[in-house]
Structure 1
Amino acid sequence: MPSTVARILKVNHGGEHGASRIYAAQIVAARWRCPELVPELADLLAHERRHERMFLALMPARAARPCRLMPLWAVGGFALGLMTGLIGRTGVFVCTEAVERTVHRHLDHQLAWLAADPARADAELTEAIAAIQAE
């Protein structure tokens, strides 16, 4: 069974991949429904892609692998992004707020778990999660 740190990386990487797909699809819909949001969505997409690469880079040293269900993360994220993007500004903002609030709560729990026991301290992972929290 993979370690908790490996599972954290797998989940975070998958979540960032799903978020990337949400923003990519929202950009497609926003070009038609609310083009003024495209630059902001493109910036958010760039952040998510950077986070995805960050977690992927941390995996090998911790015996972690990407989730085998990544295609489902991709399809689900794209479908959610497209649907909320087609709704327009409100759909984009409600989706983004809900996803980001959930992610930050999840990252808070991960940071607390990492800090609770010096034996499981992982400075590089803690720094990566904290950097994402700060954005």
Structure 2
Amino acid sequence: MLDPIILGFDRALRTLFSAASTTRSMPGGECVEPELSAEDRAHAGALMRINHVGEVCAQALYQGQALICHDPEIRQAMNKAAYEETEHLDWTARRINELDARKSLLNPLWYLGALSLGVFAGKLGDAWSLGFLAETERQVETHLDHHLSELPTEDVKSLAIVLQMKIDEKSHAEMAVRLGARELPTIVKKTMRLMAGVMTRTSYYL
């Protein structure tokens, strides 16, 4: 009983305070650092901070859902998706540093909230948990589309990262549907969008 708790605590500490692992090269890593105005650099840094918060939440969400999941195939698929999200965590953190920005001061709070949501979704059963995952990834994909239009066009490094993240998030949503995700009620989807809006607006500054 203690093992999952200890492993979960260790994962939380590594997500919040350690460098994430990755096997794929950082998208745009071969590109020359663009010349950005101070305003564009600050804006790009804030947008990448939001994306990093999203990846912190993704780690917590997958962890919470996997703790409750009893289907080995679904748990394995979630763990694979979680690893890809870990790569996103690494890429966004590195880009934040390159832009002379900082991570969100509220990351521990975001992690705890997402972990609680993951556990709650898991308790509803695998089909609803997968439905929550699929809808989350769809909303993240829409959010990343918005960032692709918001980032300075000269910032090819950030754009490359966000584009690859969008491809991966779409794949995760398709995975959840393939494994039997149930469609969430409209009111739940709207509530999720509202909560995401609060998080993104706050993370832009904090």
Give the TM-score taking structure 2 as reference length.
0.59
* Equivalent residue, structure 1, for 2:134: 97
Where does the alignment leave 5 or more consecutive residues of structure 2 unmatched? 1-38, 169-206
- Please say if 1:3 is aligned against 2:42: yes
Q: Of 71, 81, 86, which residue of structure 1 is paired with 2:123? A: 86
Instruction: Identify which of 42, 45, 52 aligns with 2:82.
Output: 45
Kindly report which structure 2 residues correspond to 1:17-28, keeping only aligned pairs within 5 A, or say none.
17-28=56-67
* Aligned AA (2:155): D
CA distance in 2, matches of 1:69, 1:92: 25
Counterparts of residues 51-62 of structure 1 (less than 5 Å)? 51-62=88-99
Q: Please say which structure displays the higher CA radius of gyration.
A: 2
2:160 to 124, 127, 131: 127
Q: Deviations over 1:84-132 (max 9, x none)?
A: 0111122212211221111111110111123xx64xx211110111111
Give, in angstroms, the shift of residue 63 of structure 1.
Answer: 1.6
Q: TM-score, normalised by structure 1?
A: 0.88
Distance in 2 (CA, whole Å) between partners of 1:64 and 1:88 is 40
Alpha-carbon separation, structure 1, partners of 2:73 and 2:123: 14
Measured after TM superposition, the shift of residue 36 of structure 1 is 3.1
State the distance in 2 between where 1:78 and 1:9 align.
22
Q: Distance in 2 between matches of 1:91 and 1:132?
A: 24
Number of residue pairs the alignment of both structures matches: 129
2:113 alignment counterpart: 76
- Residue type of the partner of 1:94? G
Question: In structure 1, how many angstroms separate the alpha carbons of the residues matched to 2:44 and 2:163?
Answer: 15
CA RMSD of aligned residues (A): 1.6
List structure 1 runs of 4+ shifted beyond 4 angstroms.
Answer: none
Secondary structure of the structure 1 residue equivalent to 2:69: helix
**2 CA distance for matches of 1:3 and 1:59?**
10
Q: Give the letter for the 1:15 counterpart.
A: G
**Which residue does the alignment assign to 2:72?**
35
**Distance in 2 between the 1:38 and 1:97 partners?**
15
Percent identity of paired positions between Structure 1 and Structure 2: 25
- Tell me the equivalent position of 2:52: 13
